[in-house]
Amino acid sequence: GAVVSQHPSWVICKSGTSVKIECRSLDFQATTMFWYRQFPKQSLMLMATSNEGSKATYEQGVEKDKFLINHASLTLSTLTVTSAHPEDSSFYICSAELGQGWNGYTFGSGTRLTVV
Amino acid sequence: GIQVEQSPPDLILQEGANSTLRCNFSDSVNNLQWFHQNPWGQLINLFYIPSGTKQNGRLSATTVATERYSLLYISSSQTTDSGVYFCAPDDYKLSFGAGTTVTVRA
């Protein structure tokens, strides 16, 4: 089946540094990918929609300069948390829409970011 | 955006019991997806169901699009069913409910 591989699974970084999270579609082409954020015991909040070859569309309240999204190919989207602070600590999950011949969306395994 | 309400928020079951989870949504949607999030955070797709009923093993789902709700049935629950169940209506992007946390006790 269609798989989205997300790396790293977890990362600890110091305040002020940047962290890059990668999502790769392994056996299909993902024109559109989505990035979510999830706080403990809460639901998933959509941060942005990433389209291959164009600028990402950010949800209201999400700082685009803080969360840089790049979708340079049909199989790779990246989220970079710039100048991370402890309040950016969260669980980040990517998702891709399954295109023709499939149904729904598939999700990466998530990245747990801790900023110290 | 679409508002999603899931009930109950928490559910404790004895192994072998049956249960029903409900999802109400505020507007017409193209489709609806049910997920199970395991303790490690992985979201597992259960159903993609715009209307009607689908079954997969001990799980089944029914969506009544005209009345804007969907139900997830768990039969003969097992401890491995524990986790958070999310419904997410699809209107060109998913809107997640708050989830139902299911705990199945042996």
pLDDT in the model for residue A53: 83
pLDDT in the model for residue A12: 97
Helix (H, G, I), strand (E, B) or coil at B79: helix
First to last CA, chain B: 40
Yes or no, beta carbons of A34 and B94 under 8 Å apart: yes
**From B89, which residue of chain A is nearest by alpha-carbon distance?**
A104
Yes or no, beta carbons of A109 and B42 under 8 Å apart: yes
pLDDT in the model for residue A102: 54
pLDDT in the model for residue A20: 98
* pLDDT of B15 strictly over 60: yes
Q: What are phi and psi of A111, to 5 degrees?
A: -130, 125
pLDDT in the model for residue A103: 66
Taking contacts as CB-CB distances below 8 angstroms, the residues of chain B near A103 are: 31, 48
Nearest Cβ partner for A43 among B31, B86, B93:
B86
Q: Distance of alpha carbon A72 from its chain centroid, rounded?
A: 14
Alpha-carbon Rg for chain A, nearest whole angstrom, is 14
pLDDT in the model for residue B1: 81
pLDDT in the model for residue B98: 95
Q: What is the pLDDT of residues A6-48, one digit of tens each?
A: 999 999 999 999 999 999 999 888 889 999 999 998 999 999 9
Nearest Cβ partner for B41 among A46, A91, A105:
A91
At residue A2 the predicted structure's pLDDT band, cuts being 50, 70 and 90, is: confident
What is the distance between the alpha carbons of residues B35 and B27, in angstroms, rounded to a whole number?
20
pLDDT in the model for residue A97: 85
Please name the amino acid found at residue A58. Y
pLDDT in the model for residue A27: 86
Alpha-carbon distance values, A46 to A49, A83, B91 (Å): 8, 21, 13
User: pLDDT: is A17 or A55 the higher one?
Assistant: A17
pLDDT in the model for residue A98: 80
Q: What is the pLDDT of residues A58-104, one digit of tens each?
A: 999 999 999 999 998 889 999 999 999 999 999 999 999 887 555 68
DSSP bridge partners of A21: A79
Give CA angle at A67 (A45, A56), nearest 5°. Answer: 80
* Composition of chain B by helix, strand, coil, percent to 5: 5, 60, 35
CB A111 within 8 A of CB A80: no
pLDDT in the model for residue A100: 59
Q: Are strands A19-25 and A32-38 parallel, antiparallel or unpaired?
A: unpaired
Shortest Cα distance, chain B CAs vs residue A14, angstroms: 23
Closest by CA to B86, choosing from B77, B94, B98, is B98
Closest by CA to B19, choosing from B97, B87, B85, B98, is B85
Yes or no, beta carbons of A106 and B45 under 8 Å apart: yes
Q: What is the pLDDT of residues B23-75, one digit of tens each?
A: 999 998 889 999 999 988 999 999 999 999 999 999 999 999 999 999 999 99
Q: Where are the beta strands (DSSP E) in B10-68?
A: 10-14, 19-25, 31-37, 43-48, 52-56, 59-64
Calculate the average pLDDT of chain B: 95
